[in-house]
Amino acid sequence: MLLTIQPLIDLANTDLELQTNIFSRSHLERQIDTARSVVDQHQKLFEQKNNELSHIINEGKEVQNNIQIQEELILRLDEQVPKIRNEKEFAASKNQLEEARKMLGLLEDKMLELDMKKEDLDQEIDSVNSELTESNSAFQEETSGLLKKQEKAEKKIAKLEPRRNRLLKKTPQNIKRFYERCQESGISTPVCAIQDKSCSGCHMVLLPQFVNELMANPNAHKNCPYCSRILYFPEVEEEIES
């Protein structure tokens, strides 16, 4: 016997399947995001180390430039020495030379320090880079299955949503309006089966009389006294089929 509430039952089943797929899609999204976060961390570290490296390179260029200036100054001062005519000029020149040589020494120390830092950083970048490559391929491997599942869920959702809308058109106006109101307020399964003497939407246990009434009349439906979802009593055959 074909129940007149069959479209309503079909609608409920479609919604349930739709919700399952929507849930699985977001669950997969989270799993993929978690896997990606490892790659992102390595990527971030890689960029950070490369930034440090370019800072060091720039600093090195500046120091090198200053070294050249000091060397030229020393050369100039040395050339002037034979032209010095008195004690006072000699002392001044000697002072200037000493200052310049001291500065040059400091700059050369700084350059050495930068070279060493750069060498360490180069090594660090190498290892961060290989970690990045490794985590990237691990991510691809790990998520290829998840991405396929996600795609499957996506296709299911794309099929189920129009099916739900088709079924909704077949339901009486008042139910349709109720259904749409529920969906607007975030209830994704406005029509539900009674399961284990409870509303399968809000999981509240229903009064035996309430359950018995619907069991006796499988073509009827009632609103859940707790969440006001439309409830029906599922046929046993339905359960086996699904």
Chain contacts with Zn ion (rule: CB under 5 A): 199, 201-202, 224, 226-227, 229
Residue 42 or 222: which CB sits closer to Zn ion?
Answer: 222
- For the bound state, the minimum distance from the C-beta of residue 190 to Zn ion, rounded and expressed in Å, comes to 10
Q: How far is CA 114 from the centre of its chain?
A: 37
Contact 206, 194 (CB under 8 A): yes
Give me the half-sphere count of Cα atoms (radius 13 Å) on the Cβ side of residue 74: 14
Cα(104)–Cα(110) distance, rounded to whole angstroms?
10
CB nearer Zn ion, residue 128 or residue 231? 231
Q: For Zn ion, give the closer residue by CB, 81 or 205.
A: 205
CB of 213 to Zn ion, least distance (A): 16
Instruction: Report the nearest approach of Zn ion to the CB of residue 129 (Å).
Output: 56
Residue-wise burial string across 208-240, b where 16 or more C-beta atoms lie within 10 A, e elsewhere: eebbeebeeebeebbebeebbbbbbbbeeeeee
Least distance in angstroms from the C-beta of 144 to Zn ion: 40
- Judged by beta carbon, residue 69 or residue 202, the one nearer Zn ion is 202
Helices and strands of the chain, counted as H and E runs: 5, 4
Q: Which is nearer to Zn ion, 100 or 214 (CB)?
A: 214
Residue 23 CB, shortest distance to Zn ion, in Å, is: 19
